[in-house]
């Protein structure tokens, strides 16, 4: 690891990193005078792949003839699933009505109708209160009886953001200085950029072959033994995990949320963007016994399960006190969120529709995960994927490198997300001398892939992969 970083607390050496980054400004635009803005604002790792792909292939990823295996978005059309056992997803709304009132400034904390709609949704599926059970199946009612949370949330527990990441950014921006983030060594790439931009203090939790890319709950909190007693711990965990698809649910999730965080007066931010991409759908809110007197945060968005990344609607669920702080920031720093987008989101949460969507998402993507997994297994790739999300986390044989694989895929109009982009210990300034432990690993996304492209996707990947192996003498 470069000398400008402490092995345990990455941003202790930030001044040195800024100096280093000043000589590493990779912007394609230059000025004849020094910019007043920092030179240490590189693009998120996924965007680096997009830029490199365009430079190689000559077109943007997502245009006709490209294969977006690197991308973290779902299909934005009706889900069909396996023709032999259809998923039968709902149609996506095609329009939204806009009135003169929608041209007023939005409320800093979100539109009342959307906040209530989201509260009703979480109460119905994740709060153990019989009054919230209308429309549930017997199986869903029985599952809810195992949940610890018996107190319905209301609108004041919810803050609306323009997507999930602005909510995460805002929480970290206003963390007190005695709070330290703990994060898996391998997570969603943007966490690193957000933590750097907000000057967050954080340490990484080992995530490797030894723990099967699934850190235990205790690993996130064991640092307590070496921290000043005044320090508070605040893990950030994607669940289901990105890029691995590993899921914490049932007793394991209860242990994380209630036993380790809530009862001990610690904190936790669960990023539940992929909530619906597990059977059954999962939220840590189910195990929050006293949300109002905790530092538990649960974030979600319309981006994944509701298949609408383009409307940019996300939310944060927390105590009313903490939501008040976030909304105060919005009053001067964000200005609220588009009314039309919020109205569209209300349509997505219509009770019958969202019940159908939850089932269809699980069925469609379980099918896709299984058949792509079987194809990769036949190629001899090692699979380290959980049973959630819409990614496969894959390992190349010794001697191969995900960066070289990507360069070869670019020429075929395809791309994967390279493992080092998910490395939370890598230098934010993109120091080329840093060697990530994830050079043989990559994330393959089947999220945006149509069912009918399966054979072509497998054929392209197989040809490139086999040729790469042949070129370097691997049988």
The tens place of each residue's pLDDT in the chain, 475 residues long, gives: 333 333 344 444 333 333 333 334 567 789 999 999 998 898 998 898 999 999 999 999 989 999 999 999 999 999 999 999 999 999 999 999 999 999 999 999 999 999 999 999 999 999 999 999 999 999 999 999 999 999 999 999 999 999 999 999 999 999 999 999 999 999 999 999 999 999 999 999 999 999 999 999 999 998 666 666 678 999 999 999 999 999 999 999 999 999 999 999 999 999 999 999 999 999 999 999 999 999 999 999 999 999 999 999 999 999 999 999 999 999 999 999 999 999 999 999 999 999 999 999 999 999 999 999 999 999 999 999 999 999 999 999 999 999 999 999 999 999 999 999 999 999 877 677 899 999 999 999 999 999 999 999 999 999 999 999 999 999 8
Rounded CA gap, 294 and 291, in Å?
5
Which strands, in side-by-side order, build the sheet including 267-271? 158-161, 314-317, 295-301, 267-271, 232-238, 179-184, 202-205
Strands (E), 95-230: 158-161, 179-184, 202-205
Count of beta carbons in the 10 Å neighbourhood of residue 54 = 15
394 dihedral zone (left: phi>0; alpha: psi -120 to 50; beta): beta
Q: Is 107 helix (H, G, I), strand (E, B) or coil?
A: coil
DSSP 387-403: SSSSEEEEEPPTT--HH
CATH class of 37-85+362-471: alpha beta
How many residues in total does the chain contain?
475
Are 183 and 207 contacting, i.e. CB atoms less than 8 angstroms apart? no
Q: Do residues 415 and 49 touch, judged by C-beta distance below 8 A?
A: yes
At residue 28, the pLDDT reads: 79
pLDDT given for residue 224 in this prediction: 60
Res 433: pLDDT: 86
| Chain mean position to CA 22 | 30
In this prediction, residue 399 carries a pLDDT of 97
Sequence spans of domains, the chain:
37-85+362-471, 100-354
User: What pLDDT, on a 0 to 100 scale, did the predictor assign at position 222?
Assistant: 86
Of 136, 118, 83, 163, nearest in space to 363 by CA: 83
Q: Is 316 helix (H, G, I), strand (E, B) or coil?
A: strand
How open is the CA angle 334-335-339, to the nearest 5 degrees?
115
CA distance 302 to 283: 15
Residue the block writes with tokens 């991308």: 71
Long-range contacts for 130-139 (Cβ within 8 Å, ≥24 apart)? 135/351, 135/352, 135/355
Question: Helices marked H in 175-264 — which ranges?
Answer: 190-197, 217-221, 250-254
Measuring CA to CA, which residue among 199, 200, 165, 207 is closest to residue 181?
A: 200
β-strands 314-317, 382-383 pairing: unpaired
- pLDDT confidence of residue 15: 34
CA dist 43 → 18, 39, 357 (Å): 16, 11, 33
Q: pTM value?
A: 0.93
Alpha carbon distances (Å) from 8 to 49, 235, 257: 28, 15, 24
- Alpha helices (runs of H) in 12-88, residue ranges in sequence order: 14-22, 45-57
Q: According to CATH, what is the number of the domain 100-354? A: 3.40.640.10
Beta-carbon contacts of residue 110 (< 8 Å; ≥ 6 apart): 158, 159, 160, 315, 336, 337, 342
Q: Which residues contact 386 (CB under 8 A, 6 or more apart)?
A: 214, 240, 241, 244, 245, 246, 247
> Residue 81 and residue 124: Cα distance in Å, rounded?
26
Query: Positive or negative CA dihedral for 109, 113, 117, 120?
Result: positive
β-strand 391-395 against 417-418: which pairing, if any? unpaired
Q: In the structure encoding, which two tokens stand for residue 324, read together?
A: 């008040």
């Amino acid at each position: 690891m470069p000398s400008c970083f402490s092995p345990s607390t990455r941003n202790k050496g930030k001044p040195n990193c800024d100096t280093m980054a000043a000589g590493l400004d990779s912007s394609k635009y230059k000025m004849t005078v020094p910019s007043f803005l920092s030179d240490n604002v590189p693009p998120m790792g996924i965007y680096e792949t997009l830029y490199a792909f365009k430079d190689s292939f000559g077109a943007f990823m997502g245009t006709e003839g490209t294969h977006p295996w690197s991308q973290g978005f779902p299909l934005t059309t009706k889900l069909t699933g396996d023709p032999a056992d259809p998923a039968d997803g709902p149609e996506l709304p095609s329009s939204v009505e806009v009135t003169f009132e929608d041209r007023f400034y939005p409320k800093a904390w979100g539109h009342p109708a959307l906040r209530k709609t989201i509260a009703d949704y979480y109460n119905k599926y994740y709060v153990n209160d019989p009054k919230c059970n209308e429309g549930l199946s017997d199986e869903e009612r029985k599952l809810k009886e195992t949940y610890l949370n018996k107190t319905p949330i209301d609108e004041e527990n919810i803050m609306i953001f323009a997507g999930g990441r602005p909510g995460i950014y805002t929480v970290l921006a206003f963390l007190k200085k005695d709070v330290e983030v703990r994060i898996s060594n391998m997570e969603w790439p943007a966490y690193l950029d957000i933590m750097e931009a907000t000057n967050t203090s954080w340490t990484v939790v080992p995530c490797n072959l030894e723990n099967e890319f699934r850190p235990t709950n205790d690993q996130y909190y064991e640092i307590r033994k070496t921290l000043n007693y005044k320090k508070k711990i605040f893990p950030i965990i994607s669940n289901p995990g990105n890029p691995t698809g590993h899921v914490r649910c049932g007793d394991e999730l209860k242990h994380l949320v209630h036993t380790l965080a809530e009862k001990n007066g610690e904190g936790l931010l669960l990023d539940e963007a992929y909530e619906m991409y597990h059977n059954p759908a999962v939220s840590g809110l189910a195990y929050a016994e006293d949300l109002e007197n905790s530092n538990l945060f649960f974030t979600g968005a319309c981006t994944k399960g509701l298949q609408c990344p383009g409307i940019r609607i996300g939310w944060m669920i927390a105590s009313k006190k903490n939501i008040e702080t976030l909304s105060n920031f919005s009053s001067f720093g964000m200005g609220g969120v588009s009314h039309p987008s919020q109205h569209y989101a209300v349509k997505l949460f219509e009770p019958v529709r969202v019940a159908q969507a939850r089932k269809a998402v699980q069925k469609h993507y379980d099918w896709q995960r299984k058949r792509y997994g079987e194809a990769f297994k036949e190629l001899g790739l090692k699979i380290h994927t959980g049973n959630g999300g819409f990614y496969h986390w894959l390992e190349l044989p010794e001697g191969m490198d995900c960066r070289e694989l990507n360069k070869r895929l670019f020429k075929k109009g395809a791309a994967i997300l390279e493992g080092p982009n998910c490395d939370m210990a890598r230098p934010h300034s993109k120091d080329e001398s840093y060697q990530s432990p994830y050079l043989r690993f990559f994330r393959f996304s089947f999220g945006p892939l149509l069912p009918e492209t399966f054979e072509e996707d497998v054929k392209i990947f197989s040809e490139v992969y086999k040729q790469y192996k042949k070129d370097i003498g691997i049988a």
